Every structure is written in C-alpha cells, then in structure tokens.
Amino acid sequence: MSLDDRFAVPLAGVDIDEQTRCAHYSTDRDVIAIRFPCCDTYYPCYQCHEAIAEHPTEQWPRDRFDEPAVLCGRCRSTLSVTAYLDCEHECPNCGAAFNPGCLTHSARYFDG
Ligand SMILES: [Zn+2]
Ligand SMILES: [Zn+2]
Ligand SMILES: [Zn+2]
C-alpha cells in the first residue's frame, strides 16, 4: 500500500484527487476522507479501504468520537467524529459543502 504524499496525514485510496475525491465518490461535495481506526489511515471511502487495506474494516467506537477522524479535502483540517456528525454538511473551518449522502451510510464508519 502506498500513501499519498500530497496530504499531511496518512491517506490512501483509489484515484484520489487534490480534494480527496476517489474512484467511487467524485461529486463536487465528496471532499472528505475518513480515518479508519483499524489502521490509522485516512481513506476517501470504505470502498477504497476494502480495495487497498488487507484487513477487515473497523468502525469507530462511540467512546473515541472525540478523536480526529475526518479530513476536509479542501482545507485539510481534521474534525472529530462528533464535530463531523454535528457539522450539518459543512466544514466548520472553511465552509466547504460536504455530501449529505455520506451521513446516510455513516454507520459503516461510526458505531451509532
Ligand atoms: Zn484499516
Ligand atoms: Zn473510494
Ligand atoms: Zn474545510
């Protein structure tokens, strides 16, 4: 697995662009990457993790929701799980619009 050196955090994925869009999610608003607790690496989506990581995907346990877990691909700041779930689809730092659809499958990432 090779990490993408354009970002300040460990990030991997399939066809990542400058703002963390990937081969699976590439609309204007798909500008976040999520850190996976199983490997402490950010991926644009779970499908990237499945394609690249050679282990099962783990979800964030509820008692770790205050740790940095979401990267904004536009300003490259990180949000905790709680901050992301509360941000109303907008980066609290730069105002980038996040895809509200991501939240509909957030149970894949976060133990809700
Ligand atoms: Zn992993
Ligand atoms: Zn992907
Ligand atoms: Zn941002």
In tens, the pLDDT along 27-46 reads 999 999 999 999 999 999 99
Average pLDDT rounded to a whole number, residues 60-64: 95
Q: How far is the CA of 14 from the centre of ligand 2 (A)?
A: 6
Q: How far is the CA of 75 from the centre of ligand 3 (A)?
A: 4
Q: What are phi and psi of 35, to 5 degrees?
A: -80, 135
Q: How far is the CA of 88 from the centre of ligand 3 (A)?
A: 13
> Which ligand sits closest to the CA of 55?
1
In tens, the pLDDT along 2-28 reads 788 899 899 999 999 999 999 999 999
In tens, the pLDDT along 69-101 reads 999 999 999 999 999 999 999 999 999 999 987
Q: What are phi and psi of 60, to 5 degrees?
A: -70, 125
Domain borders along the chain are 1-112
The stretches of 1-112 forming alpha helices (DSSP H) are 46-52, 81-86, 101-104
